[in-house]
Structures are given as structure tokens and as C-alpha cells.
Structure 1
């Protein structure tokens, strides 16, 4: 092994022709699901890819599992951070190391069905350069791999106007599976990637939507695993889950309010025409807070309905 980018690298897999697609797998302490994830990636029907694994100072068997797979498949490139640099930095690292013209992040605990990569590549090829991201439909699974049900991401954003695409992100983004789709790497590298705060993947998708169109492939090819250690939306997850993921170097990852402020600042900046930047920066918070207002109004109406139903019954039971 030799020193590389402040960590360790296993073998030299950079010779030969460049792959069309780079798959980036940032991982820390992923031994429970890692083998299932790797098996699914190596079974992809589309084979012209490299798999970049960056182990973020795991303390379990993650590195051992990675080395075992790399020994039998030369498409796998392994890197290891000697200290915990935080999940956001590890996500950035695999993008930095990518050599393909297309790029896909991979989560160690999810499962990509065999047609995932090929379907997204075909969608991007058919759509042309105006489309910068393609992702398939999602099915949620539990810790044991049992199907919970389909999840509607609703981020198929094909409008030619950037502010309309940004509005679609603000209106619909939730569990944010689209950022595990296949990107044009030149577009992805124009963004700030994953940042050290909660829901920064929302910011990323707003940036991407400003740059180009997003297509949803109409096939359920992504199995997203929901478990306590994976997301703030998962059962049993707490704020400590996010703090542990972002790592000690990132400080305290704050909530959705920071995400909105950061997203507005990002959309207002950059090298796009001023009118595009202004319209996107105004649209995102407007649609986001209208969405939140509708949610709060819906809760208030449901409470009123429950109260109106319970009051007559209480009176009818009175002596």
C-alpha cells in the first residue's frame, strides 16, 4: 500500500481505458450491509464502470470486506482515510477520484437492482446534454430487506426554465433518493456536493436542477434501506445520528433552517446569468415555505376535525 490523498490506497487500478461510469461508495463501519451492496453493484448489466470505495476510518470489518472484493474484480479501487473526515468529505472524495464522464454515488446499505446503471445511462444518452441527472423509481425496504413499499420521489423535472425545476425540488424533495442517480460529472463538479449540514442533499439537488434537467426512469430499480442508522427520517434516528455521520471535524450540523439559507445563497451565486440566479434564489424559499404552510394548515384542520367529532360523542354520553 502507498500513501494517497492523506489516506491509504489498495493496488493500482488506474491503467487501461477510462471507464464510462464511476461508482463512488463512501463508507464508514458498513459491515452489516456492505457485501450485499457490493454484490448488487458487480451484478449490474452495464459493466463499463469503475467502483471507487473510500473507507472513512472504519473500526469494524469494512476494510477487510472491501479488500476481499477488490482481490477478485479489477474494476474496484480502494482508498482508506486513517482518521474520520466526516461523511460529507468522504462523499466529495469519491467524486474527486472519479475518472468516468458519468458518476453515481452508492450507499453501503442500499441495493441497486441489475438494470439500475444501464437504464440511467441510456436515459442520459437519449435525453442529450441538457439533462444532467437520471435516477430510477424507489422501493423502500427494511433492515431485513423486506419490501415496505414504493416511494414517489416526484423529481422528474424536465421544464426548460431553471426556476421551474428548482421549484419542483422545493415542492417535492423529501427522502432525496435522486442524488443517488447517475450524474454528468462535469455538472456535478460545478456544485458544492454534500455540505456539512443537515439536508445539504436538498441544496445539491437545487443546484443540479438549476444547471439542467432531471429525468426519472420509470422502473423501480432502487431499493432504499430504511433503518435507524441511515437517516434522520428513519425509525429510531436522532440528531446524534447526523452528528456522527458528519464527523467531528464538521461541528454541529444544524437543521432545515440553515439548509434554506444556504440554498438561497448558493442559487444566488455562481456563473449563470443574473436573471437565472435571482429567479432560482427567490423561487426556492417561496415554494419551500408555502409547502411548509400547507403541511401545518393540514395538521391544524385534522385537529379541528378530530375535536369536532369527539365533542358530540362526549355530550351524548353525559348523564
Structure 2
């Protein structure tokens, strides 16, 4: 694979990376939404992971219509995490956004996020808008609160904010400063590594949530993680690990995140405080979840006992 393209005068300010594999079902909707953006200074980098459906044919058709679309095709499926890194490698812009084939960006997505980054200055490394969940047909399910507006100047407080709001992760589909994103490990080859990425980004700089619902996340059964029969083992197929076994995926994510936070460029106090903050909030959340489950079980048993006693 070729090296990172140099940034030269006249190159687009924003690079949109679209990693694909067998994406024919929603790909046209995705590309139409990108080409309808009211911010025009961008390129679209498509990297197809050797799809076996009509994905490549659709990409070629769109590239023939718009010269901003650059196409690349891998000789085989290297796994989703490799393809996500590939589009970052090929990016030429100052700013960068990953694009999932099944999601929709409303027309002012890019202009709003770019304006937020420009207004905030270099201390903000990622800007993303509010999320609305949609179903397979594009019908709105409802808003989703990401809660990743992390503007504290202290890295450990920002990292704690990430740990506090881990669930569906949408902030990593926002607009990054490319120089900051390239300092991270990006998407890694284990489940929920997007959590690890967001913690790493929060340690690097501030994250800004734009108070406008400009991102539509599609919930559908064809998604690797959303399918009704999805398991951690089946989800590994996205990483190109067909026969892998998953042991304690939550613990693996936690350990990888702590390892990342406790190493790297920042000074020792920043590394240790960030790792400790993530660990503390993570375990506090886990304890609350377990207490909630026990409380519900006790409530059900109490009601069952009360109903049984009242029957006599």
C-alpha cells in the first residue's frame, strides 16, 4: 500500500474516509448525502475491502460523476480496522471524518463541524453533532444523547467523561483534526476499540458537541453488532477474524484502554491521572448496573410473593 499522500496547496481541507465491505444496500444514500453537503471543500476517499456484492460498481459510477471521489480497492478483506486506518493514511486534508455506509449526514453536517473547530481553536481536536437514530427504512426512531461535550482543560476530566457515557459511540464519526487522529492507535483489532480511541482522543484534546441533530445513525439487522443473533464471536468477522474466540470482551477493552492511557507522549502525571479516572468511572458504572439488576430481581420476587400470598 502506498504511503501517506502529502498535503499540497490546492488540496481539499476536509477528507471523508469511507471504508467499505459489501455495502450495496445503503451506499447510494450515504454517497448522495455526502455530495449534498453545503460545505464543498472536501474529498471522498473510498477504500473497498474486496466486496463481493455491487459495492465496487456503485463506487465507480459515483466516481465518474464527481472528481472529488477517489477509489481504492484492497486485493482481499484485511478486516474493518485495517480499512479504517487505510482511509486515514490516504487522507490529504487538514480535517478528517470517517463515514459509515449505512449512516446519513445531513447537508450542514460538515459546515457546522468545521465552523465549530475554527471557532474553538487548536485545543479542540474533534467536533461532532447530535445524533438521531433511524430504522432500516430511514424512519426516525428518536434522538440519542451522546454526552461527549468534553471541554474541560484537564485531560483526566475529559477521559472520565468518555468513561461516563460509553454506550453507542457516535463521536468518532465526527470531524477530527487529522494531525491529532494520526497520533492515536485509531480503531484497534478488538471489540469496542472505538471506546479506547475516544479515551485517547480526549486525553489529547477537547471534544465539542454541536447542538444540532445532523447525524442519522441507522439501526438495522444487517449490521455486525446490531443483528438479533449477533454475538461477540460473530462480531469478530468485522475485524477479519473468522475463527477467533472472545474471552471477556469488556475486560479486554478496559485493559487495552488503561494500557494506552498509561503510556504514550503526555507527561507521567497526565498518563496516570487519565488511566485512574477511566478505571474509577468504569467500575462505578459496572457496580451501578449490577445493583440495578439485583434491585429489579428482588422487586420481581417481592411482587410474586405478594401476589401468591394474596391468592389465599
User: Of residues 247, 250, 254 in structure 2, which corresponds to 1:256?
Assistant: 250
Deviation at 1:22, TM superposition (A): 0.2
Q: Secondary structure at the match of 1:195?
A: coil
- Given that 1:228 and 1:237 are in contact with CA atoms closer than 8 Å, whether structure 2 keeps it comes out as no
- 1:252-295 Cα offsets, whole Å, 9 max, x none, are 56511111000001011111111000101111122111101101
Aligned length: 309
> Which contiguous aligned blocks of 4+ residues in structure 1 show a shift greater than 4 angstroms?
249-254
Q: Secondary structure at the match of 1:66?
A: helix
In the alignment, structure 1 residue 159 sits paired with structure 2 residue 152 = yes
CA distance in 2, matches of 1:16, 1:31: 35
Counterpart of 2:200? 207
Counterpart of 2:134? 141
- Given that 1:101 and 1:186 are in contact with CA atoms closer than 8 Å, whether structure 2 keeps it comes out as yes
Q: Secondary structure at the match of 1:139?
A: strand
CA distance in 2, matches of 1:240, 1:225: 22
Counterpart of 1:305? 299
In the alignment, structure 1 residue 63 sits paired with structure 2 residue 56 = yes
Q: Secondary structure at the match of 1:168?
A: helix
User: Of residues 162, 168, 171 in structure 2, which corresponds to 1:169?
Assistant: 162
CA distance in 2, matches of 1:164, 1:15: 37
Deviation at 1:16, TM superposition (A): 7.3
Counterpart of 1:128? 121
Counterpart of 2:29? 36
- Given that 2:116 and 2:127 are in contact with CA atoms closer than 8 Å, whether structure 1 keeps it comes out as yes
CA distance in 1, matches of 2:233, 2:63: 33
TM normalised by structure 1 equals: 0.93
Counterpart of 1:315? 309
Q: Secondary structure at the match of 1:71?
A: helix
Please report the RMSD computed on the Cα atoms of aligned residues, expressed in angstroms.
1.9
- Given that 1:86 and 1:249 are in contact with CA atoms closer than 8 Å, whether structure 2 keeps it comes out as no
Deviation at 1:173, TM superposition (A): 1.6
User: Of residues 264, 283, 294 in structure 2, which corresponds to 1:270?
Assistant: 264
